[in-house]
């Protein structure tokens, strides 16, 4: 049998098991709450595994490893640290969020401000989820291209078809259950690769050579502030808000059986994510010894070779056909574990916050779930189209995050913690922030030459990250100014959000 045939055979068995899980949970779905929030019965362990799996994309793992290779621990602020910090902050917000009777963030905003924001925020969240899904498709397409020489279209068909099947059958319950399986596969893959790359880098037993290899790394590699304190602050202030207000972890909080399960689950998720990224750091150190020319190229020039370095190592290591297929399956699980979360999160906005709220208010449960299933297909299809225009994996994640940070962070968090926030302020913050940020992203993408520092960053360090600090600043100012220009909200309307 050919390499590809073995991979397809194993993949078919894996996807078949996921579809079986979807069929199992399909029988338990009686209402849209069962479909969207797993009946609000999730325990801490389910939430922890799902929270970790949902934020560990195949593409992000390759990109994070590449960043570790080129920038060392200083790179953690671009993805790793915000990921962990955001989960821990959400754990602190659990008691506030859990008492709100919402299924989606746009629905919550309507409860707080009225109907003006629900539709626009639902559209923005859908766009953000599509961009997040792009990173999964890009990452897995890189795997198939390097391992089997396949066109990126195959990754789209595999990820899209698998996710659409088991998500549409089993809803959020199937997503959470399969996330346990997918995280386990991914964790074992990363730990195995850490051991194998260490052994290859030192020509010795991995367990005995690990401490020696890590001890030979230059001290500057371990410095988490090597990128400079300004960049640490810029990344933290621009990325963490977007991930704190990302809809999919809030969806898990609302799906938890109680406050303790939600809070403990987010902490477990943060720990699991940390373990995986620690494995990526070890892999990066080993790959730098194996491919010293990549690190010598520096950032960003070396990123084109750093991102696929692990895949190149696997391909060149003489794996058996079965072993190569297992590695591909391990990375496929990472792609699916994130794509399913992004698809369900975005689809819930389309079906509940756009279709049911504005198009067909009298829609019954079956109609809503049917639209939701079609929306899953739409999000996967849209992510496929975008993947042909966005070439950098982390770029897709950052663009999505920056749009979220600059558009609805202040209206959402301000509505939860500031009584003086009003509808006019929220609309002003949303419109100004989203408009400015999307414009800055387009300008930066158009004017930045390939593999060069960002155009806006070359104008000023404060405009790093597609100018997201400027976008957030304008959104915040518009939100506060608009709120003070409006009359205060009636106290009775605020009881749901501020009564102990």
pLDDT tens digit sequence for 53-107: 888 877 778 889 999 999 899 989 888 999 899 999 999 999 988 888 888 899 9
Residue 208 confidence class, pLDDT cut points 50, 70, 90: low
Burial tier of 151 (Cβ tally within 10 Å: 0-12, 13-18, 19+): exposed
Residue 304 confidence class, pLDDT cut points 50, 70, 90: confident
Q: What is the pLDDT of residue 331?
A: 78
Nearest to 46 by CA among 250, 256, 246: 256
Q: What is the pLDDT of residue 467?
A: 87
Residue 205 confidence class, pLDDT cut points 50, 70, 90: low
Burial tier of 149 (Cβ tally within 10 Å: 0-12, 13-18, 19+): exposed
Instruction: Identify the weakest region by mean pLDDT among 27-31, 199-203, 231-235, 423-427.
Output: 27-31
Instruction: Identify the weakest region by mean pLDDT among 68-72, 174-178, 203-207.
Output: 203-207
Q: What is the pLDDT of residue 73?
A: 92
pLDDT tens digit sequence for 11-21: 788 777 777 77
Q: What is the pLDDT of residue 393?
A: 65
Architecture of domain 3-391: Up-down Bundle (1.20)
Q: What is the pLDDT of residue 280?
A: 93
Which residues face 256 on adjacent strands? 42
**What residue has token string 């960002």?**
454
What phi and psi values does residue 392 have, to the nearest 5 degrees? -105, 130
Residue 269 confidence class, pLDDT cut points 50, 70, 90: very high
Burial tier of 101 (Cβ tally within 10 Å: 0-12, 13-18, 19+): exposed
Structure tokens at 411: 């209206």
Residue 475 confidence class, pLDDT cut points 50, 70, 90: very high
Q: What is the pLDDT of residue 142?
A: 75
Percent residues over pLDDT 90 in the chain: 22
Name, of 225-229, 342-346, 411-415, the range with top average pLDDT: 411-415
Query: Who has greater pLDDT, 129 or 335?
Result: 129
Residue 334 confidence class, pLDDT cut points 50, 70, 90: confident
Q: What is the pLDDT of residue 1?
A: 64
Give the residue extent of every domain in the chain.
3-391, 408-500
The residue count of the chain comes to 500
Mean pLDDT score, 266-283: 94
Q: What is the pLDDT of residue 152?
A: 67
DSSP 463: G
pLDDT tens digit sequence for 398-437: 788 888 889 889 999 999 999 999 999 999 999 999 999 9
Q: What is the pLDDT of residue 36?
A: 64
Q: What is the pLDDT of residue 167?
A: 65
Position 499 pLDDT exceeds 80: no
Are 428 and 479 within 8 A, CB to CB?
A: yes
**What residue has token string 């809809």?**
247
Residue 35 confidence class, pLDDT cut points 50, 70, 90: low
Query: Who has greater pLDDT, 458 or 190?
Result: 190
When the pLDDT of each residue in the chain is averaged and rounded to a whole number, the result is: 83
CB within 8 Å of 298: residues ≥ 6 apart: 70
Residue 27 confidence class, pLDDT cut points 50, 70, 90: low
Instruction: Identify the weakest region by mean pLDDT among 44-58, 158-172, 359-373.
Output: 158-172
Measured torsion, CA atoms of residues 315, 319, 323, 327, in degrees rounded to the nearest 10: -20
- Assign 310 to helix, strand or coil: helix
CB within 8 Å of 69: residues ≥ 6 apart: 284, 287, 288, 294, 295, 302, 306, 309
CB within 8 Å of 473: residues ≥ 6 apart: none
């Amino acid at each position: 049998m050919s390499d590809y045939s073995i991979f397809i055979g194993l993949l078919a068995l894996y996807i078949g098991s996921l579809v079986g899980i979807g069929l199992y949970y399909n029988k338990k779905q009686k209402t849209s709450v069962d479909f969207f929030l797993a009946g609000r019965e999730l325990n801490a362990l389910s939430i922890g595994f799902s929270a970790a799996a949902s934020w560990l994309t195949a593409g992000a793992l390759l990109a994070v490893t590449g960043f570790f290779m080129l920038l060392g621990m200083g790179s953690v602020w671009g993805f790793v640290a915000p990921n962990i910090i955001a989960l821990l902050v959400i754990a602190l917000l659990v008691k506030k969020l859990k008492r709100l009777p919402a299924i989606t963030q746009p629905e919550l905003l309507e409860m707080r401000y009225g109907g003006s924001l629900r539709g626009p925020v639902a559209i923005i969240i859908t766009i953000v989820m599509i961009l997040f899904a792009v990173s999964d498709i890009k990452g897995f397409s890189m795997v198939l291209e390097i391992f089997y020489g396949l066109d990126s279209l195959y990754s789209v068909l595999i990820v899209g078809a698998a996710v659409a099947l088991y998500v549409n059958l089993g809803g959020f319950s199937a997503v959470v259950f399969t996330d346990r399986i997918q995280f386990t596969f991914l964790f074992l893959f990363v730990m195995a690769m850490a051991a194998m790359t260490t052994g290859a880098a030192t020509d010795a037993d991995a367990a005995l050579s690990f401490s020696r290899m890590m001890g030979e790394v230059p001290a500057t590699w371990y410095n988490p502030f090597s990128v400079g304190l300004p960049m640490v602050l810029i990344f933290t202030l621009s990325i963490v808000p977007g991930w704190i207000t990302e809809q999919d972890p809030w969806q898990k909080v609302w799906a938890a059986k109680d406050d303790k399960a939600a809070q403990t689950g987010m902490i477990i998720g943060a720990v699991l994510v940390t373990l995986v990224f620690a494995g990526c750091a070890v892999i990066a150190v080993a790959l730098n010894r194996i491919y010293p020319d990549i690190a010598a190229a520096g950032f960003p020039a070396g990123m084109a070779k750093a991102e696929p370095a692990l895949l190149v190592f696997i391909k060149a290591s003489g794996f058996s056909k079965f072993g190569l297929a297992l590695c591909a399956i391990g990375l496929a699980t990472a792609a699916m574990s994130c794509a399913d979360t992004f698809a369900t999160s975005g689809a819930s906005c389309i079906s509940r916050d756009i279709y049911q709220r504005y198009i067909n208010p009298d829609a019954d449960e079956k109609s809503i779930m049917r639209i939701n299933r079609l929306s899953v297909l739409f999000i996967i299809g849209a992510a496929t189209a975008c993947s042909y225009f966005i070439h950098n994996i982390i770029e897709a994640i950052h663009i999505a995050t920056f749009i979220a940070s600059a558009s609805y962070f202040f209206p959402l968090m301000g509505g939860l913690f500031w009584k003086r926030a009003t509808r006019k302020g929220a609309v002003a913050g949303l419109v100004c922030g989203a408009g400015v940020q999307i414009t800055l992203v387009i300008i930066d993408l158009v004017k930045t030459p390939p593999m060069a520092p960002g155009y806006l960053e070359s104008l000023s360090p404060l405009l790093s990250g597609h100018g997201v600090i400027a976008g957030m600043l304008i959104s915040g100012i518009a939100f506060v100014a608009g709120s003070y220009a409006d009359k205060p909200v009636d106290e009775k309307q605020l009881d749901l959000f501020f009564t102990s």
